[in-house]
Structure 1
Amino acid sequence: MKIGRSKWLAAIGVALLSVTAASGQTAEKGPWWPSPFGAQDQAGNSNYITPEKILTSLKLAKTGKIYELGHIYDAKMPAFGDRPYVLLTQPANEVTKADQEAVHTDYFTGFLGHMGTQFDGLGHMGRALKMPDGSYKAFFYNGYTEADLTGPKKGAGGVEKLGVEQIKPIITRGLLVDIAGYKGVATLDARYEVTLADVLGALKKEGLSEDSIQPGDAVLLNFGWAANWDNPSKYNDGHFWVGENKGSPGINHEVAKWMVSKKVSIVGADTCCVMMMPQPEGDAYNLHVDLLPYGVFLMENLDLRELAKDKAYEFLYLNLTERLRGATGSPVRPIAIR
């Protein structure tokens, strides 16, 4: 008996997310845990990036051309909400003789892991589930709880589980899914919701089959939105309907669940949140929790224009996060090499 892809994905979604008051969940078993990598795992789908996967991915670099996929970090970049970014450079010491060194040092304060081109780790977002006694409790990747993450220190010094230092280096096969190109526009509309049909249509146009997506791949979606980077209000600074902010395009829940079924390591896009923002009225939950609890990382605020211009749909992808103990996100310099 055959069923349509939409019904199949919906069935997966129900199976993954349904929790009854009668069964509840335990530390050992829940609707998305234990992880296939073991009950203690904290590395998520970076586990799919094996030595063999890396060696195969390295063969995709044939010309040595490098693509910078991240934006430069500075105080003018779009910040979602009122997140601060302050960099102070201490002026060099006064010099009084030849060959004396002059030294600068930097001081930074701000949302280090959730500003600019950013990597969302598994501790960034979880989902509340209803417990048998009628109360609600937040669970993260592999069934870790808020108490597991923030502990008795309540987050001082970072999370105690699922910090970005647990992630394995991401050196893998990257795929560009050019949604804007598929739709024949330079930039998607601010309220455009990217569907699974769009993703599959773009892959087909690029000569890539759905079955060609392999565990551990990084899938990057181009909406053309990086063109608005220098205009924070239009790009989406989180202040909806203020100034030029009409929101930003992004994928829907069906696409996110499909990505989980493909066991990709990262889903990235050239918008603040990968999903459409603000979400459609009546949406029950943030799309991030379709991905992060299942071990799939997110990359936000990419710049994919040059890749799209060159029709570079398959490439070596490097995404090395900072080893910030206890951080839930990380700045990163993502690179594509053809």
Structure 2
Amino acid sequence: MPVTDQVGAPPTTADLLRFAAEDVTIHDLGRQLRIGMPQSPNHPAFWHALPRRHGDMVRHDGGSAANDIISMGTHVGTHIDAFAHVSQDCHLLDGSDAIQAGVGGRYTELGVHTIQPMVRRGVLLDLPAVLGLDGPAEGGFEFTPEHLDEAERRLPAPIRSGDVILVRSGWGVHFDSGAPYVGAQTGVPGVSEAGAHWLADRGVHAAGADTIAFECLRPGQGHATLPAHRVLLVERGVYIIEAMDLEGLAAADVREFLFVLSPLPIFGATGSPVRPLAVVGRG
């Protein structure tokens, strides 16, 4: 649709809504927040309760209202990591002392409130397709630069600086099963340390995955080391998005899209739950 109509007037809100409804498909890449959903054991679990239910208090006209309370870690469910989330040798991305930066209980310089809303080109790197798999990659499988090279060759256009790159391992099919998704014994597939450098070398703005830790977790080792986090968050300045639902994009054979994400602006926090969207033009 043109930016202006035939007489030069800007389109109305109704015009824009009709255009959006008719000409794009929106893929929801976020997970529902549910009690008991799988998550990293390093973070407080999600909890939801109703402190007031309908009927607990009824107004004189018969009306009532219900309300909620939630508690959760900021790295539970689909979420984004701020640069304050990881340090190396007690230093953060900007070189500041990580311990001093947290004095007062807030990370004022690198907290999640500093992440601007993202409306960027998104790209899906489908690693099971590269490996010739009908299902997910095996637990503990490491995605190397060679795997990422082959996935990039299958894109409509090469990765560009500023893109958001989503790495599909296929592991998301285990999400509803709970413990198998966490992969404590089996390990979890993910990007290697060299693969993280591969992404950063292309100037990507953010990198996401369908697992809770983005990178390769070896069987039985849990989160003992997280080299991709160190590379992306501490050394190279690339945001990480985790626990994404990428199965719909893969099933629709979508590799390129408009990526939309906005974190909650929680002042000084190390991360935020998010609901990322992939917007795809029809045809």
Instruction: Settle same-fold status: TM greater than 0.5.
Output: yes
Match of 2:119 in 1: 171
Matched residue count: 253
Shift of 1:331: 0.3
SS in 2 for 1:173: strand
Distance 1:266 1:280 in 2: 28
Q: How large is the Cα RMSD of the aligned pairs?
A: 2.1
Match of 1:86 in 2: 47
2:25 alignment partner, one of 65, 68, 91: 65
2:131 alignment partner, one of 183, 201, 220: 183
Residue type of the alignment partner of 2:71 = T
Do residues 95 (structure 1) and 58 (structure 2) align?
A: yes
Distance 1:213 1:259 in 2: 9
Shift of 1:280: 10
Residue type of the alignment partner of 1:259 = L
Do residues 235 (structure 1) and 196 (structure 2) align?
A: no
Distance 2:209 2:117 in 1: 20
SS in 1 for 2:85: coil
Match of 1:312 in 2: 254
SS in 2 for 1:123: helix
User: Which 5+ residue runs of structure 1 have no aligned equivalent?
Assistant: 1-60, 129-137
Residue type of the alignment partner of 2:64 = A
Match of 1:57 in 2: none
1:329 alignment partner, one of 246, 271, 275: 271
Do residues 264 (structure 1) and 204 (structure 2) align?
A: yes
Q: Which portions of structure 1, spanning 4 or more consecutive aligned residues, are displaced by more than 4 angstroms?
A: none
Shift of 1:62: 9.4
Deviations 1:60-110 (A, max 9, x none): x99310000011011121021163221111223332644x43112211222
What is the TM-score with the length of structure 1 in the denominator?
0.70
What is the TM-score with the length of structure 2 in the denominator?
0.83
Residue type of the alignment partner of 2:176 = D
Residue type of the alignment partner of 2:174 = N
Shift of 1:284: 6.8
Distance 1:267 1:175 in 2: 10
Shift of 1:167: 1.2
User: Which 5+ residue runs of structure 2 have no aligned equivalent?
Assistant: 1-20
Distance 1:249 1:122, change over 3 A: same
Match of 1:36 in 2: none
What is the 5 A alignment of 1:1-338? 63-81=23-41, 83-90=44-51, 91-92=53-54, 93-95=56-58, 97-98=60-61, 100-111=62-73, 113-128=74-89, 138-151=90-103, 153=104, 155=105, 158-185=106-133, 186-208=135-157, 212-236=158-182, 240-241=184-185, 246-278=186-218, 286-293=227-234, 294-338=236-280
Verify the 8 A CA contact 1:178 1:221 in the aligned structure 2.
yes
Verify the 8 A CA contact 2:208 2:241 in the aligned structure 1.
yes
Match of 1:7 in 2: none
Distance 1:249 1:89, change over 3 A: same
